[in-house]
Each structure stands twice: as C-alpha cells, then as structure tokens.
Chain A
Amino acid sequence: MRHFTLPVSPATVHWGYFSKKVAPALTLRSGDRATIETLTHHANDDYERMIAGDPGAESVFHWTREHKGVARRGSGPTEGPFIRGAGEGLGVHLLTGPVAIENAEPGDVLEVRILDIRPRPSCSACHAGRCFGSNAAANWGFHYHDLIEEPKPREVITIFELDTSGEPFAKAVYNYVWTPQTDPDGIVHATIDYPGVRVDHATIRKRENILTGVKVPARLHFGTMGLAPSEADYVSSIPPSYTGGNIDDWRIGKGARMYYPVAVPGAFFSVGDPHAAQGDSELGGTAIETSLTGDFEFILHKKNDLGGTAREGLAHPMLETDHAWSVYGFTYPNYLAELGVDAQTEIANRSSLDRAMRDAFRKLRRFLMTVHRLSEDEAISLMSVGADFGVTQVVDANWGVHGTIRKNVFRCD
C-alpha cells in the first residue's frame, strides 16, 4: 500500500464538470491510499473567513481583470462572448482530481473507502484555526417559488461556524440577502448564477443573532464524488447519474464505502463539494458548504471478479456503511443516455421525486434478487417491511430517492 497526497491548486482541480479528457492529477494502483484536499465553491461568500491567507484556496479562487486562476467553470462554452463567464456555470462544483486508477476498464467497479474527513481551518489572521461554511438558499432551491415573506424571490447566504471542540456541530454566524455582484470581468451576477464570484461585503447587509440557540449536528461528507461518464467529454457536475457525482447524501462520510461502475479507462475519480452538514432533501439548494480534506482508499474490482459479491451486476452508485446498504434512485438513472443531445439542460425541466422513487425501487429489487438471491416475491415483501426510502435531494436537477436496507436483516442464526 502506498499513500499519496493531493493538495488543491489550479493544476489539481477542475471546476463544474466531470471529464474523461482532463489529464489525471494523480495515478494510483488498486489498494493505494490518498489524502485529498477539497474546497467548497461557496468560499467566496465570505472571502475573509474562507479564502484569505490559505495559499491553496487563494490560488484556485484567484480572479482579477488580468488573470483568472481557473477560467473554465462549468461544462458550457469556453469561447466568448459569455453570458455569465467561461463554462457558463453549467456545473458549479470545485472538484479535486481526476485520480486515475491503473488498469481500470469499463465494466469494472471502483470501490472508494472514506477513511477520515477533517475540516480545513481558516488561515486569516482574525479567524485562524476556526472553520467556516456557507449555506445558500438559492434560486435552484425547492422553496424559491414558494416564499411567503418579501422580497420575493430572494437568495440568502448564511455563514456557519463549525465547532469541533467536542461532539462537532455548526452554529450560524450571520446571514445576508444576495445583492447583484460584479465580477472582475465586468459581468453582473444578479443572482447566484456563476460559481466563485467574490461577494463584495460593502454591498450586503449582514444580519447577526440568527438561529440563536440552534446547533446543527455535524455530518461531514462529500456531496460530489464520482467517475467520468463516457457519454460526453464535459459533463455538468450538477445532476448525479450512473457514475455517481453530486449525490448529496450525508451518509457518504467517514467509514463509508462507495461503489461506482467504471465507464472510461482509468476510471477518473474526482471529489469535491464538501459539506459540514446537510438534511435529507437539501431543501434550500445547498448544504453547509465547508472545505474539507479526506483520506481515501481505492480498490478496483475487475469485471470478472464481481460475480457472487455485493457488486455483481452493479450499474449505478451504491453505498455500504457499517449498518446498511443504500442504492440511489434518480429521476433519470442515466440522463445523458436517456435525454439525448440536450440532456444537460433538459434534465432540469424534468425533475421529479416520483420517477426517482420508481428508480430506487427497481434498483433495490435488483440488488436483493441478484446479490441476496431472493425471488421477486421475497424481495418485494422484504422491501415493504424492512427497507426505508428517503428523499436524498430535490435541488440537483436529477432528483434523488435512496433505498436503504439494514445489514442486520441478513444476519442468520
């Protein structure tokens, strides 16, 4: 076993998309471990607390009239003129990687174990050593067209501090209503429509003493982890799909093992979208978005060795924890293949939990029948009395429902 380190820098991140075309930042063998730094793409909501003095973050977010550290943000056009900026914000997550796995081929399954997760402390003079995150109640949130207070609609940023002195929890520091922000290239962002735009704190009104007495238990996890899909060269990081991606399940934290079907040679694993806490549904559009560093172990399961294991027949991402198995249902299980050339824009118009529930049911039935050798009648009875379906997220275009079956169900006596 070898152990590698992958720090963040403009050379080791790609912003807003998965791609089989990006040169690997690291190449590993099955069984290797790596410590991988990740940054939240919401760090610029409070530059002082989340970027200032942090060389990695400063280099990635660097953006002046003359120089933009990471120009492309999203899977959209890279040739101007731009409406929002290069990549057009069609995909928003800062992803570290890709990590190529030697000998990985389409049809294999990559297992990714999360050994540990640590927050990335602030480096700025005033806040050194403390950890912060941002939550945006954004225009893609479930609530956005259903607000009851004025002004309607509005976007709101809430900055949280993560306290890790004991049982970790987050507390709100202040919030503000988004105001139009002008980026260094002169484009005005009236709403949160392009990632990494630095919020000028002179233009906003901070409201303190919010969520007083409320402690949000920490659930450190990575919202986005996955492999490069084969269907397109540049794929928006927002909708999750069959190779994983932006699944946004808080259970994908320390101790979790994720399984992904490999779609391209080398697998091309990327990770980002770190979260300090999130509820099932991620209702307002984001979690508590907080830069984190993870320790990972990678195990490649070759196509021919899958039979008779929990990975047999796997065509979608799957989670294993100490207590349970979870499968992920989506509105469209493989939207890139199902929705054709306009898939990346069309998916946002078709979001539905009903289809995601249908998909989760089918995936869990398949898992019980293939892996646990149950008949269809047995699988259906067991799902009704022993499996739990929950709302993963309703904000990532390709909405998610997860189906979970506890491991102690299978304990024989």
Chain B
Amino acid sequence: MSGTRVASIGPDWVEPMSFRPFTSESYARDDRLEAWRDVLAAVGLQPASASAFDDGHATASHRNAAGVALTRIAAGSQGIAPLPQSGEGLPIVLLPIEDGAMLRQGGSHRIVPVGHLLLLPRQGDWSLMFQRDMRAIILSVTAEARHGRLIGRPIASEARVVAPAGFADVFSRLLDATSRTLETLSDLEWAAIAQSLVDLLLTLAHQSTSPASEVAGTATQAATLHRICQTIERNLDNPELAPSRVAQAEGISERYLQKLFEGVGDNFSHYVRERRLQRAWSDLSNPAEAHRSISEIAYRYGFSDSAHFSRAFRHRFGLPPREFRQQEAERAAPSSIAAGQRGWPQEALAQLRTHQPSSVGRNIAAGTPTPAQEGKCEGRPAHHHLSVDASRVHWGYFSRTLAPQAEINSGDTITIETLTQHASDDPDRMIAGDPGAESVFGWSKQRKNVDRRGAGPMDASVFGRGAGEGFGVHICTGPIAVKDAQPGDVLEVRILDIAPRPSGNPHYEGRVFGSSVAAWWGYHYNEFLAGPKPREAVTIYEIFHDETPHARALYSYRWEPQTDPFGVVHTTYDYPGIPVAPGSVRRRHAVLDGIRIPLRPHFGVIAVAPRELDFVDSVPPSYFGGNLDNWRLGKGATVYLPVSVPGALLSVGDPHAAQGDGELSGTAIECSMTGTFQVILHKKGNLAGQPFADLSYPLIETATDWVLTGFSHPNYLAEFGAQGQSEVYATSSLDLAMKDAFRKMRRFLMNIKGLTEDEAIALMSAAVDFGVTQVVDGNWGVHAILSKRLFEDVATSP
C-alpha cells in the first residue's frame, strides 16, 4: 500500500490522550524490569526496593490526559512504593480488584481488603505488598490537572483506606468501568471522564478522615494484630480454632488478644466467622473452584456441618450457597453468547445431576501407572513406547498433579499412540476391535473407563453433562516426565514421524478413518443460511495414503440427541466420547463428491503442564502449548515449549489428518495417529544465544520457517487470574491475537536476530506472513511466519 490515515485531519500528530497497551511479551527478559518501571512511573509509583520484579507475565492498559493517568494492571506478586520525583498532586488512588494487599506505613502493617480504595501520599515511607497476583486500578492526578483552580491542599501525609460504601463506592465503580473501556473511548469521552475523576477524587480526598478507617492503637499493637490475623488466615480450616490457642502462639494473654480486636471494633469469633464466610464466598464465585463441591469448600474453611454452613452463609449474604453459586455464574455471563457454552460456564449452572461425585481426579481404570520401558544405559538415547489405554490418558485437561506415565532422558525418542476423541462418532470404524481405543472409550451403564473428561467438577454440578463437564475435550496421552526438567528450561519436541492408526475392525482391515464435526463451538454456528438452525453435522472421512495422500468424505449425518450409557441426554455435542448409535442418525452418502482433501497430518495438542492451576481445560492454547491446532506441527517440525513445572510433563493428543488455517467449523479431520518424537531438554543456563532463548510461548520450527504463535491472551491463566478459564472464551479476538503475534515477532527479530526495532518492523512489513491459526479454541490464534531464507547469506544451491 499505502496511505495516510484517513481520519482526524490536523497537523497535530502528537497524541497526548492515546491509549497505551503494555505487555511483558514485548520485551526481552533483561529489559522487562526497566519497561515495568515505566508503567509504574506513569502513575507515580516504583517497584518497592525489597521485592524483585517477577519475570512472569504482566499486562497493563494505560491512558492519560492532562495530568490524569489511569492504569489497569495485572501482574505477579510484588511490592510497590511511591516514586520520589513524581511531582505534586493529589494522593494516588489504588483499587485492588481481585485480592487484597498489605500496606506498610512507617513500622505498622495492615491488610487492605479487595475493593477498598487506597489513597496514597506521593511521598513518604510506605509500601504496598501484593502477596499473590497484583491486580489493581491506579489513578494518578498531578498538579497539571487542576488548571489553576483554587483548591485546598488535601492532607496526604498518611495513606488512607476507604471502605467501598456511599460516595467511595460510586468512585470505585467509575474507576472500574473506565479502566475496562480505556481503549475504546474517544478522546472527547475520555477527557470528560478524566475530568470527572479529578472532581470525584478532590471530594474524596477532602472528606474528613474517618476514625474507623485509621490504624488502631500503636504501631506495636497493630503489628501484633496483623500477625494474629495471618495466623487466623492460615488456620481457617481448623474447626477447633480458638482464641486461647492463637494467643498462646503469639505469646500473649487471651484477654489481651480480645482487647486488640475490641480496639478495631471487632471480636475474635466474629472475625474468624467473617473470614471463613468471605473465603467461602470467594471460592463459590470463582469458576476455577467449580470442580469442588459446596461441602468440600465448607470443610476447607472449618465448617464440618454443611447444613450449618448453609445457614450461616445465608444469614451473612442473604442467599444459600448453591443459589449464590448459580447467581454468580449468571452474573458473569456476557449477554452476547448465544447457543452453547464452551469451557467454564458464564451461563447458569444447570440442573444438578444426581449421580454421586467421585472427587478423585484419576481415571477409574488407572491402576498403578506403568512407566514405559526405561532407557537402560546412561548417556545413550533410549527409545520408549507409550501405547494408549485408559490408564495412560488424561481426557480434556492438563494437570501438574498427574503421575507420569513414563520418564525419559533428554535426547531419548518416544513413540506415542494417540486417539482422537471423535472416534466415537463412528465406533464401528474407529473403536471396535482396537484394544487401546476400546479401553479408553469403554463406557457401560456400570462402568466408565475414563470418568473425568474435562477440568470441570466430577459431580457435574455445573451443566450435568458428565464428570469433568467436557470443559476440555482432548484425549491426551501422557504425561511424560523429562528427567531434570525444571521451570525456566525449554523442552524441544521434534516430530520424527506420524503414522495413522488403522481400523481394528476386521471388516475394515487396514483402512483409516477420521471424523470432522461442524460443532456448536464452530465459527459458523450462529449464522446458518438454511434450516434447521442451528445444527451440528458430522462428516466421516476415509484417509488414503497413496502417492498424493488425501482424504475423501464417506458419509455425513446431523447430530441427533444421544443418550450416553449413564442416561444423560446430549442434545448437542457437549461431552466427548459419547458413542453414536448408528440407528439414531440418518447417514447421508455422496457428500463432498469428487473432492479430495490433501493431507496435513499433525498433532493439534502438544503441551507441557501449566503452573497456575491443578486442572486446566485442554481447549484454549496458551504459553504452555496445548491445543495449538497449527497444521505446520507435522512430520519434521519441532516445537519448543517453556517448562513450567518440574519434569515438564509432556502430553500429546488431538491428532489431525488435515486442517485448514482457521479450523472454521470447530474441528479438523480428527483421526487417531501414532507419533514418534525426540525430546531434548535445554537447561535454563544454556539458553543464551539459542533461537529459543527467553521463550514465553510455543515456538514452531519447520525445515523452512520459524512460526511464532500469537494468542488473544498469551497467558490467559495469569492475565485473568481466577476468572481465566471462563474469561478467555468471552473475550477472544483476532485483533488481540494479531497484536500478540506482532509483539512476539518483533521480540524474536530484535533479540534472536539482533535487529533494531526499526529494522524489525521494516522486515515484518516486507517479508513476514501473518495468518489465522484458529477461531474456535477459546483463545483465538494468529501465527507469524518468518522464512529462514531471509537469513541465508548466498542462495547458490546447485
């Protein structure tokens, strides 16, 4: 192209009000702290000297107007303090939005609960520590914003905490709403809101300090009380938690302990009950905790009697816990989501199922894991074989808690059998007669060989689909532990070979089949042209390995409600592995007549275990790999994955015979296949100078290209915290994924290829190809392809 921006005629190209996104993904590891300092400095803060910047994931959105700066931050645990030279202005406002923080002021400490407003002086001896993740909205108003108006100088020598009630509540809500829409507000709208924020802050800062919000008593008393509260917090699960024991542990009398609580207008037993109920409240509203039953949560906070818990909860919050959980799930629902819900629910928690939870996350049939044959002699690469059966797969989730099925050394090769979760679309062709597949899919009225399918609750208390709720669908073989692998290392997974898994049914001997479902999570689902609307369609393909390997459609059928062996009716394709009874559907032949799909055999899922949670939905791909759904991950390709947990815990699944960029209908040609891999561990200390140094995402290498994987939300688990597993489905966008792919490619060109930023951008424009990976896996993907040819010095091949 191209052209001058069409809108906003005007000579003034300095854009003082523009939105500024920040993500640590843009920066090399060594530059991140400096970049992060800039983010904090924009709101008058700096990292607290005591705490180092975690090299994990950090994002921020920021916008400023004259003297007003608003930032919404999501980052790891850390401390912050005032920036000495930040100039004059109103107190800095900080609103913790997911977890509280610890305020240190002089020698005293106090806990600032989530949702309370902090008014922080611009100078002075204070710091704020976020014990878990730092998620906060920060507003900074400097003298520049006052436009010469005469306003009293608010006293701001002490940090103040304001509870979210009345005026402060209005202010908090405006901060929250504004910080969510920073990017889309027009300049005019933003300027108006910024001015209102200044006015509101002035009013708040001038309100006389409420005594109730002040730290009680002396610094020593406050410090003691703080320690007591921490002790209580650690022991909430103990039903026997009594004031005498706590006092004893602290070396004070019980009477003095009670006095300390009285000093802040509370008493011990009330405080403990309140904390227990608050923590239970928080877990019940957290989708990531939905795999726990209500009685488990009650027990966790010291309520041994769930009826008692239910009453106490209702008394405190006005709703019984079950209704509350349902209401929270509904509240989080975005109005636009039509039809089905993939992943954790934002819709109602549907009717509760009757069959009893089996809270263990292991497969029923799993006995003691049988590690594949070990490499016998040290130093020489060994070959391993991991066949597939019910005990060697985990279905629909990744987990750092799984016992490894094999342990291998760096450099070893391993053959891994994988099954497509869509084999049940035609059990006769893809399961029958295959002992491995029969074992994994085995499901009768009495027995289900792999019970957990998905990261959801085992009691299916969300939708009632079945254990695990189908929050995650892929049959993953593994995990495989890699000896000596530690967080910070990089795992190189080379795909040496891929072979299809022939039908085990003598009737189809030697033939290979696959299935593709145009499912309710497909991109097309909300806009059918013809009726019935909506509908799901399954197409069964046969795979041919002649001189031009290809697939041809055999027949197709519309999904009809299927009753699984436990009696649950699935009106849509909402749970994996439901055997489709041939008589229940009408097969249509002569579909895709004369059409041959060239094969692109690859594995949709290659993952190492994520560090953030115990059970992670297998559908959204992220920094740990997972459901990448990039057909370039075929024979001869390599993927580099950042190791997050000891042993790495590699899993492979979701085999595909062919897929297009986009994976539009929701699935590829899903076809069981066996892969042979070589796995090489690169220790953290040896990464310098390697193309995969400073890796924070799955990096693909083929014979000709580097393929970088961009996502809507590069690390959705860290970015959204507790809400990640549902939020990622609601907020996916190709625009965001394109930004991520751009930032990753810039970083790669600058840090690995040694280019300047200007060189990197010129090269991206002229020679890097960006494509749509998939628009169906919750966390949508855009990849960036860098041809290795660009860097070949002289192309004089004979």
Contact = CB atoms under 8 A, between A and B. Distances in A.
B668 interface: yes
Contact of B757 (A147, A346, A391, A411): A147
Given A345-B7, A357-B775, A378-B591, A285 B765 contact: yes
B524 A156 contact: no
Interface string B767-798: 11111100100000010000101111101000
B107 interface: no
A92 B767 contact: no
Interface in A318-348: 344-348
A210 interface: yes
Nearest to B795: A167
Contacts of B27: 148
A282 B772 contact: no
Interface string B10-46: 1101010011110000110000000100000000000
Nearest to B790: A214
B501 interface: no
A79 interface: no
Nearest to A344: B6
A383 B660 contact: yes
A389 B658 contact: no
Contacts of B755: 211
Contact of A194 (B4, B35, B669, B738): B4
A66 interface: no
Interface residues of B, number: 89
Interface string A45-88: 00000000000000000000000000000101000000110001
Nearest to A383: B664
Given A211-B759, A377-B518, A384-B659, A390 B770 contact: yes
A16 B743 CA distance: 31
B772 to A, nearest CB: 4
B710 to A, nearest CB: 10
A19 B431 CA distance: 63
A59 B124 CA distance: 67
Interface stretch (A96-104, A112-120, A234-242): A234-242
Contacts of A389: 660-662, 664, 771-772, 775
A266 interface: no
A403 B775 CA distance: 13
The listed residue with most A CB atoms (<10 A of its CB), out of B4, B13, B662, is B4
Kindly name the residue among A167, A236, A385 whose own CB sees the greatest number of chain B CB atoms within 10 A.
A385
Contact of A192 (B1, B4, B664, B759): B4
Interface stretch (B73-81, B453-461, B570-578, B593-601): B593-601
A384 B668 contact: yes
B524 A380 contact: yes
Contacts of B553: 378, 381
Contacts of B669: 385
A232 interface: no
A235 to B, nearest CB: 11
Given A156-B758, A238-B3, A283-B742, A388 B766 contact: no
B2 A273 contact: yes
Contacts of A378: 539, 553, 556, 591-592
Interface stretch (A1-9, A30-38, A133-141, A305-313): A133-141
B654 interface: no
A214 B792 CA distance: 7
B449 to A, nearest CB: 29
Interface in A186-245: 188, 190-195, 210-211, 213-217, 223-224, 236-239
Interface string B181-222: 000000000000000000000000000000000000000000
Interface stretch (A254-262, A291-299, A393-401): A393-401
A278 interface: yes
B625 interface: no
Contact of B765 (A93, A135, A411): A135
A239 B4 CA distance: 11
A139 B356 CA distance: 61
A279 B762 contact: no
A317 interface: no
A406 B550 CA distance: 13
Nearest to B529: A376
Contacts of B539: 377-378, 381
A279 B765 contact: yes
B667 interface: yes
B422 to A, nearest CB: 12
B172 interface: no
B739 interface: yes
Given A158-B762, A357-B772, A391-B782, A381 B592 contact: yes
A141 B765 contact: yes
A246 B789 contact: no
B768 A281 contact: yes
Given A83-B10, A394-B738, A382 B595 contact: yes
Contact of A401 (B3, B541, B772): B772
Interface string B142-173: 00000000000000000000000000000000
B179 interface: no
Contacts of B767: 216-217, 277, 279
Contacts of A394: 738, 770
B739 A146 contact: yes
Contacts of A362: 527
A91 interface: yes
Interface string B641-674: 0000000000000000011111111111100000
Contacts of B596: 408-409, 411, 413
A284 B595 contact: no
A179 interface: no
A386 interface: yes
Contacts of B524: 361, 365, 380
B758 A385 contact: no
B746 interface: yes
B496 interface: no
Given A146-B739, A381-B516, A89 B4 contact: yes
B665 A380 contact: yes
Contacts of A273: 1-2
Contact of B735 (A236, A354, A413): A354
A223 B594 CA distance: 35
Residue with the highest number of chain B CB atoms closer than 10 Å, among A140, A217, A282, A380:
A380
Given A384-B516, A388-B660, A279 B2 contact: no
B229 interface: no
B360 interface: no
A386 B658 contact: yes
Interface in B578-595: 591-592, 594-595
Which 4 residue pairs spanning A and B have beta carbons closest together? Answer: A384-B665, A284-B765, A388-B661, A280-B769
Given A216-B763, A286-B2, 14 more contacts: A145-B20, A146-B26, A214-B790, A215-B795, A248-B2, A279-B765, A279-B767, A281-B738, A345-B7, A353-B733, A353-B735, A361-B523, A381-B665, A390-B772
28 contacts: A90-B4, A92-B4, A93-B3, A142-B738, A146-B26, A147-B757, A167-B795, A192-B4, A195-B4, A215-B790, A238-B1, A238-B3, A246-B3, A277-B766, A286-B765, A288-B766, A345-B6, A347-B6, A353-B733, A376-B530, A378-B556, A383-B665, A384-B518, A386-B660, A389-B660, A390-B771, A390-B772, A408-B596
Interface of A: 16, 74, 76, 83-84, 88-93, 135-143, 145-149, 153, 156, 158, 160, 166-167, 169-170, 172, 175, 177, 188, 190-195, 210-211, 213-217, 223-224, 236-239, 246, 248, 273, 277-288, 344-349, 352-354, 357, 361-362, 365, 369, 374-378, 380-391, 393-397, 401, 403, 406, 408-413
Interface of B: 1-7, 9-11, 13, 15, 18-21, 26-27, 35, 516, 518, 522-524, 527-530, 535, 537, 539, 541, 551, 553, 556, 558, 591-592, 594-598, 658-669, 733-735, 738-739, 742-743, 746, 755-759, 761-772, 775, 782, 787, 789-793, 795
